[in-house]
Structure formats: C-alpha cells, structure tokens
Amino acid sequence: MLIKVQTKRSHLCQNAIIMKSEVSKDANERDIKKSYKKLAMKYHPDRTKGDKEKEETFKEIQEAYEVLKDDQKRAAYDQYGHAAFEQGGHGGGGGFGGGQGDFGDAFGDIFGDIFGGGRGRGGRQSRAQRGSDLRYNVELNLEDAVKGKSLEIKVPTYVSCEPCDGSGAKKGTSAKTCTTCHGHGQVQMRQGLFAVQQTCPTCGGKGKIITDPCPACRGQGRVEKTKTLSVKIPPGVDTGDRIRLSGEGEAGEHGAPAGDLYVQVNVRDHDIFVRDENHLYCEVPISFVTAALGGEIEVPTLGGKVKLKVPKETQTGKMFRLRGKGVKSVRSATTGDLMCKVVIETPVNLSGDQADLLRQLEEKMGKSSKKHSPKETGFFDGVKKFFDDLKG
C-alpha cells in the first residue's frame, strides 16, 4: 500500500507516516483500529493540555485513520494519493468526515469514561437525564447516634407530575420525535475536513418535542413539592456518615429517573464524653484521699452508672479502661471501650481546722518526702542538677 503522498505540504503526508509507523502494509481493520486508539490516547487534547503541536498531530492521526479504515478510500489513496480527496478528485468520497461513525465508533468507547465525553458506543440517541441528588443535614446527640433513631424529615424537591405521569405532555397526548435530529438529540456540523457533533438546537438534546405541554408542570414532567420521609438512623453512626435513600432525590425531567437523597449525619458535642471512632473518653475527678488510700467510685456510661475500683497511690491522669462500654460500630459487631481518666481534685474552701490538719500532715511527711513524693523529689533534683551544670 502506498502510504506516502507526493506533496510534502499535505497534512496527510505527515499523518500517513505516523500511522505507517504503527501498522504494516497489509494490516487488517482490527490492527488499524488498535493502532489508532493507541495513538489517539497519546495525543488527545484532554491529555496534552493545550499543546498545539500535539493537537495538530491528533487531527492528522484522525485523518489518516479515516483513510486506512475505509477500503474504498484506502484504495483511492493508494492509486491517486492526496488528490483522491481534494474537491473534484478521483475519489469523490466527500472528504474525511463522511459517514456517521467517524470518531465515536472507534474512539468514544474508550474516551467516554476517561474524559467524560459521554458519547457511548456508536450511540447518539439522547437519554433522559437523571434527576439531581440531594443532601439533607441531620444533627443528633451522642445518645441517639449510639443507639439509633427513627425520625421524619421534610424535603423540598421536585417530584414526578401526576397528571401527565412525568412525560411533560398534556394528558391524552405525547411528545413527538424532533424533525431536526430525528430523535438522536445531536446533529453534525461540517467544518472543513471534520464533522463536529453538537447538541440539537431544536430539542435541546432531548430527541423529542412537546407540542402540547401539561398545564400542571408546564412541560417539565415534574413539579415542586415538600416530601415527608421516614429515615431510620442505624446505631453507631458518627459525624460524616451519610445514609442514602435511593430514588428520593429530585425527579428527572420528562419521566427520567429520580436522583438519590443523602442524609448527612452530624453528632453534637457531649457534656461528658468525647468520641474517637468507637471509643469514648471522659475525665472523672477524685479526691486526693481516694487517690492516696484507694476506694470505689461511680463512673457514668451511656448505659448508666458503673462501679470503678481505684487502687491506692493512684496518680492524676491515670487511665482506666472499661471494656465494651463504648460504641458499637455501625459497620461491624465490634464495640469500643470507655476510657476513664482520673483527675485528682485539690480541696477548696478549707476551714481553719482543715488547713491545720493538712499542714500537720505535710510536716509529718516532710522528713521522708522522697518516700512519699518520689516524682516531686526526682523533678526538683533534676532541676538542681540542670542549674549546677550551667554554672559549671
């Protein structure tokens, strides 16, 4: 197959050489298509990000593919070169844009998902657009989030029009196929060598036209309404979790499916507990007598009070773990723990007699302070050594 042409000024000379580097002379349709996809992926404008030179290369690749994939054009090109595709030339093929399956047939199937082109495989038939998703914010206290709750919410949205059953056409009538795009929703505009696909200006891409619209919805197929919905909040939800109610979003136009409603959960701060995933944390104040001598205290949990034994000589900041007293995970059967941090409270509002008793205690303990207050003694010994080193 003669792949080069006689004139160097022709774009086809460049793109033919490009394609020749990827396919052999006797390449079949499958090999040509595979080669085209590979090159098109490399030079597509959505990937080259404004590189004009690569955009031109992409156009050249597309032109070459139009010749190589068509047996008649390929034969004419082999025989007459670029002249076969000039106006009035021997080929008479009407340029490179002829036919409905020029770009999307070989390319839309791979670029529709990657670049959001939405072309679909060989499909220009318009599809009814799904309704929008909605979000509804729900604020819960910690108890309801942990135990779960059923509640009712009111959501202003669009719902399907009952008189026309969502079609948008007056009852007893129906939408007609658009005569401009013949129901495809898109039309082709010729620009030089290329065929550009655009949304049909007559029907706006819907493929159909409503000549006698429904008076209730004015041809939209949906109306505004406030819906009352029952939502079941599962036990264990946390801030950031969301619950999807399928099909409870906005109804689509002209009978299109409704979107989804997402109930977004936010859990208010609690006066006692702080939540970290499935664990709960709280601070419990204790007297210095209990801390020194030990004892039993009551600790709050979401299920009620429980007893906690405090060993003697407990220091402030000591963390006690109450297993299984946290939150049950919404995603598994795992239940977290309650972490209780004891904080020794200094006595306030002491009477004279009480203050005297504390001073007597301090005097009696003073002779053996290292024994009774090892942390305090160790700290000040370290401070003294620090300053002695500075002087030295």
Question: What percent of the chain stands above pLDDT 70?
Answer: 69
Domain count, the chain: 5
Closest CA to 322 of 341, 302, 340, 344: 340
Q: Is residue 43 scored above 70 in pLDDT?
A: yes
In a domain, 121, yes or no: no
Per-residue pLDDT at 180: 87
Amino acid at 126: S
Indicate if 315 and 359 belong to the same structural domain: no
Band of pLDDT at residue 392, cut at 50, 70 and 90: low
What does the pLDDT look like over 279-306, one tens digit per residue?
999 999 998 888 888 999 999 998 888 9
* Length of the chain as a residue count: 392
* CB-based contacts of 150-154 (< 8 A; 24+ apart in sequence): 150/230, 150/231, 150/232, 150/233, 151/230, 151/231, 151/233, 152/228, 152/229, 152/230, 152/231, 153/228, 153/229, 153/231, 153/263, 154/226, 154/227, 154/228, 154/229
Per-residue pLDDT at 2: 31
What average pLDDT does this structure show over 262-286? 92
- For the chain, what is the mean pLDDT? 76
Indicate if 198 and 258 belong to the same structural domain: no
Band of pLDDT at residue 373, cut at 50, 70 and 90: low
Q: State which residues form the domain around 247.
A: 126-169+218-268
How far is residue 126's CA from residue 113's CA, in Å, rounded to a whole number?
17
Indicate if 297 and 259 belong to the same structural domain: no
Indicate if 244 and 132 belong to the same structural domain: yes
What does the pLDDT look like over 91-136, one tens digit per residue?
433 333 333 333 334 443 333 333 333 333 334 444 567 889 999 9
Per-residue pLDDT at 81: 54
What global pTM score does this model have?
A: 0.56
Indicate if 138 and 264 belong to the same structural domain: yes
Indicate if 101 and 144 belong to the same structural domain: no
In a domain, 303, yes or no: yes
Per-residue pLDDT at 338: 93
Indicate if 134 and 259 belong to the same structural domain: yes
In a domain, 380, yes or no: yes
Instruction: Say if residues 339 and 281 touch (Cβ distance below 8 Å).
Output: yes
CATH code of 69's domain? 1.10.287.110
CATH code of 318's domain? 2.60.260.20
In a domain, 5, yes or no: no
In a domain, 69, yes or no: yes
How far is residue 207's CA from residue 200's CA, in Å, rounded to a whole number?
8
Q: What is the DSSP letter of 164?
A: T
Indicate if 159 and 264 belong to the same structural domain: yes
Band of pLDDT at residue 383, cut at 50, 70 and 90: low
CATH code of 197's domain? 2.10.230.10
In a domain, 4, yes or no: no
Per-residue pLDDT at 282: 94
Per-residue pLDDT at 193: 62
What does the pLDDT look like over 322-361, one tens digit per residue?
999 999 988 888 899 999 999 988 888 889 888 888 888 8
End-to-end CA distance of the chain: 94
In a domain, 200, yes or no: yes
Say which residues have a Cβ less than 8 Å from residue 293's Cβ, sequence separation at least 6. 312
Indicate if 20 and 130 belong to the same structural domain: no
In a domain, 227, yes or no: yes
User: In this predicted model, which residue has the larger pLDDT, 42 or 147?
Assistant: 147
Indicate if 61 and 99 belong to the same structural domain: yes
Indicate if 156 and 132 belong to the same structural domain: yes
Per-residue pLDDT at 340: 94
Sign of CA dihedral 237, 154, 230, 227: negative
Band of pLDDT at residue 60, cut at 50, 70 and 90: confident
Indicate if 137 and 258 belong to the same structural domain: yes
Instruction: Report helix, strand or coil for 235.
Output: coil
